[in-house]
A and B are shown apart, each in its own frame.
Chain A
Amino acid sequence: MTQDPMAEIRASFFVECEELLERLQDALTAIEAGDHDPETINVVFRAVHSIKGGAGAFALLPLVAFAHRFETVLDALRSGQMQPSPEAIKRFFQAADLMQDHVRAARDGTAGPANADEVLQALEALAGPPAEKPLAEVAEFQPLALVLDLDADPGIADSAEPQTAWQVFFAPHAALYATGNEPLHLLRALSALGTVETRCAYPAAPDLIDLDPEAAWLAWQITLAGEVGVDDIREVFDFVEGVCALEIGPAGGTNACTPGGQTETTQPRPAALHLPAAEAAPARASGPPPQPTLAAKAAESATVRVDLERIDRLVNLVGELVINQAMLAQSVAEAGLAPSSAVANGLEAFMMLTRDLQDSVMMIRAQPVKPLFQRMARIVREASAAIGKEVRLHPEGEATEVDKTVIERLADPLTHMVRNAVDHGLETPEARQRAGKPREGLVTLRAMHRAGRVLIEVEDDGAGINRAKVREIAISRGLIAADAVLSNAEIDALLFLPGFSTATTVSALSGRGVGMDVVRQAIQSLGGRVTITSDPGLGSKFSISLPLTLAVLDGMVVQVAGQKLVVPLSSILETAALTQDDIRALGPQTHVISVRGAIVPLYDLGTELGFRQPRSSYDGSIVLFCVLDNGSSAALAVDAILEQRQVVIKGLQKAYGHIPGVAAATILGDGQIALILDPADLVRSATGHTRAIALALAG
């Protein structure tokens, strides 16, 4: 047994709650979309009911009380007494949100939501007078009454709740008493395990005169309800093994071992637990004990819950394995073995296995973005209600899988972006009507895999970025010069500058001191980038591009000014060797390259990173054509390409903060540390100086 089984069960209850809440949201969304199938309504009902049941077992009374009232209203919906009107559905969503708050409050031991009563009252008003579901049912939901209630309502019996009931037959032998043992202590220990219903079975007593005061003729039949394993019960009787008769089996069986000759007073009193007759087969303790429903549930959904820490440990270990394998490969190469040698072949197989292993481990960490999107749905509901706009959230690509850490750290920036879209992006319903758009604004949340990265977009069909206003504000804040000539993209990018806020009045929604600069910082710390596109009158789109994983990447190892650097393979379009003919001078200090008719700016990595002065000639040097966020490309000049390999990402953010152009670092096969570049970021802050200024030399 683990140290604190209750804590574990409690934790798994809250995990289940999250799943149930997700199901609840899904079903409500379906109902909103016009699905009035009774089964869909049942899903909603069951989710709430299951949470109520579990909460009852843990005596989470505020949650139970809320769920009960919610459930009563849902019952009205289920019975057709109440219609799923848009108003009702809106309230149901609110109630579902509040339920989530209640669950979290119960989990974290904090206070529940304040406005719960208001929403419930509104719902109850819509539902009309309650059907006959009296307070008695709430009373049933006092702690530990869970199992009873489940049985009382077989129509919605849900296997989600943990429930176990055991029947224990215990008959001491005289030796039990003679050895100083006491049934009272054992019965007390049993009652500490759960709810007990004890019956004392005693035969017609012998006459007092004939009675041996130290003989044993009492026996007990105990029904034990609670989340208890057979081992827990056995443990109680550990010290009386061999000096008593003991039978343990699932409750509901008519235990054949009850001694006959009971007097009328020991006839069964109404037992609290009568499971359906189908379960009545008495199982002996010697047989395999039926495990509590948790195990059964695991088999149903065929998933295992694993502590994230263990997965992280596995990921780290695999990361180390990748480094180690690279070192081994290097040693083998240095040993000068023939490529066809057994060692080289074995190493190749080893590399493939390592890669497979790594992919598999990454898959464990990957999770669909759906829960994140559901959170955003709530943000949209709350934000739109707060400022009186009609907004619909349209999620796309909810099944897209992203590394769990990425999802977690994406929640805050995404929340902010969604709020922004509702608050600033969309117009008021009146303004929309004037512009010939539907009153209801649309926010699209999209996730997809694109070129080895994850792309997440927040798009609104609002008025688009008011560039004149953005420019005006930037000038008034001293962010740009009044006469600065800026492209549309550059104006849009001003939104990401620290201290920029387009809302002239700070609204309750967006004015939280968190600007888009913080969003960008959060995304950058994930190795991602955020960009804006906007069409006046048609809307704006914020795109976040993220790495699939934060653990490894495929990189190209290049040499620049004697340094080894890694460029992510996903950002390289092609590589080429330059001739002087390809290069054109542009202005006093910069070059461009013409490639198949296209003109691409040239950047010298060595210069941009501060390793050396611009070179006088690029004849014969290698360039990497890298794709940038906005779809354009740039050419990075390097001295040589060394190899292409998988590298383990070691973050630098914690130690150094954001370094322009550098995403992270890695350890190469020879143990050397190399920087991993972020070409798009590098180009953004690049000088573009590729031409040596001869003046200094001529001096």
Chain B
Amino acid sequence: MSAELSLAARLDLNAARPLHAALLAHRGDDLVIDAGRVQHLGALGLQLLLAAAQGGRQAGFAVSFARRSPEFDEALRLYGVTLDDLQAGPRP
């Protein structure tokens, strides 16, 4: 089944643990992430999203993005990370 996860506006130190918990909660699901509200993507948040995508790839689950705010995309560019790094292909 597929789950939707809406990201908080600020993914900073304070948001890291809740995000971790949310990602763990959806483990084993195809994940559609809504990053449309994200104003600030902190590096800790990025770490978690990267780990989730990597986990998805390893376990064969899809991770994709439904919406992305300009701030989210801008942060990815500054981090030198592409959207592909954060996504996992659909279940084969």
Contacts and interface: CB of A to CB of B under 8 A. Distances in A.
Contact of A184 (B16, B40, B48, B54): B40
Interface stretch (A204-212, A499-507, A581-589): A204-212
Given A205-B51, A218-B47, A265-B85, A182 B79 contact: no
Contacts of B79: 183-184, 187, 198, 200, 220
A205 B41 CA distance: 19
Contacts of B16: 177, 213-214
Contacts of A188: 78
A172 B54 contact: no
Contacts of A172: 43
Contact of B44 (A200, A213, A220): A213
Contacts of B19: 213
B92 interface: no
A218 B24 contact: no
Interface string B75-90: 1001111101100000
Contacts of B80: 197-200, 220, 222
Given A208-B20, A208-B27, A218 B46 contact: yes
Contact of A208 (B17, B24, B44, B75): B24
A200 B58 CA distance: 20
Nearest to A209: B24
A291 interface: no
Interface in A191-231: 191, 197-200, 202, 204-209, 211, 213-214, 216-218, 220, 222
Tell me the dominant secondary structure on chain B's binding face.
helix
A650 B89 CA distance: 85
B54 A263 contact: yes
Contacts of A184: 40-43, 75, 78-79
B56 to A, nearest CB: 10
Contacts of B78: 184, 187-188, 191, 198
A624 B48 CA distance: 97
Contacts of A177: 13, 16, 42-44
A289 B47 CA distance: 32
A265 B41 contact: no
A213 B42 CA distance: 12
A500 to B, nearest CB: 71
A208 B43 contact: no
A471 to B, nearest CB: 81
Contacts of A222: 80
Contacts of A216: 43, 47
Contacts of B84: 265
B62 interface: no
Contacts of B51: 205-206, 208, 211
A184 B23 CA distance: 22
A184 B44 CA distance: 10
A183 B43 contact: yes
Nearest to A199: B80
A200 B52 CA distance: 16
B55 interface: yes
Contacts of A182: 12, 42-43
B52 A208 contact: yes
A609 interface: no
Interface residues of A, number: 31
Contacts of A281: none
Given A177-B13, A187-B78, A213-B16, A208 B42 contact: no
Contacts of B23: 208
A209 B50 CA distance: 14
B48 A211 contact: yes
Nearest to B53: A205
Most buried by B among A180, A182, A184, A216: A184
A411 interface: no
A131 interface: no
Nearest to B41: A184
Most buried by A among B44, B55, B75, B82: B44
B46 A214 contact: no
A222 B19 CA distance: 28
A212 to B, nearest CB: 9
Contacts of A205: 47, 50-51, 54-55
A180 B23 CA distance: 23
Contacts of B50: 202, 205, 218
A188 B76 CA distance: 11
A622 to B, nearest CB: 85
Nearest to B12: A182
A180 B44 CA distance: 11
Contacts of A217: 47
Contacts of B75: 184
Nearest to A198: B80
Interface in B4-26: 12-13, 16-17, 19-20, 23-24
Contacts of A178: 13
A188 B41 CA distance: 13
Nearest to B44: A177
A172 B17 CA distance: 18
A243 to B, nearest CB: 13
Interface string B31-47: 00000000011111011
A205 B46 CA distance: 12
A214 B12 CA distance: 10
A263 B44 CA distance: 19
Contacts of A209: 24, 27
Given A265-B84, A265-B85, A211 B40 contact: no
A211 B43 CA distance: 14
Most buried by A among B47, B48, B84: B47
A127 B3 CA distance: 67
B8 to A, nearest CB: 13
Most buried by A among B46, B48, B54, B84: B54
A214 B54 contact: no
Contact of A213 (B40, B41, B48, B54): B48
Contacts of B47: 202, 205, 211, 213, 216-218
Given A187-B79, A213-B20, A213-B48, 11 more contacts: A177-B13, A178-B13, A183-B43, A184-B40, A198-B79, A200-B81, A207-B55, A208-B51, A211-B20, A214-B44, A263-B54
Nearest first, the 9 closest Cβ-Cβ pairs linking A and B are: A198-B80, A213-B20, A205-B51, A213-B16, A183-B43, A200-B80, A187-B78, A205-B54, A200-B81
22 contacts: A177-B42, A182-B12, A183-B42, A183-B43, A183-B79, A184-B42, A184-B43, A197-B80, A198-B79, A199-B80, A200-B79, A200-B80, A202-B50, A207-B55, A208-B52, A213-B20, A218-B43, A218-B46, A218-B50, A220-B79, A222-B80, A263-B54
Interface of B: 12-13, 16-17, 19-20, 23-24, 27, 40-44, 46-48, 50-52, 54-55, 75, 78-82, 84-85
Interface of A: 172, 177-178, 180, 182-184, 187-188, 191, 197-200, 202, 204-209, 211, 213-214, 216-218, 220, 222, 263, 265
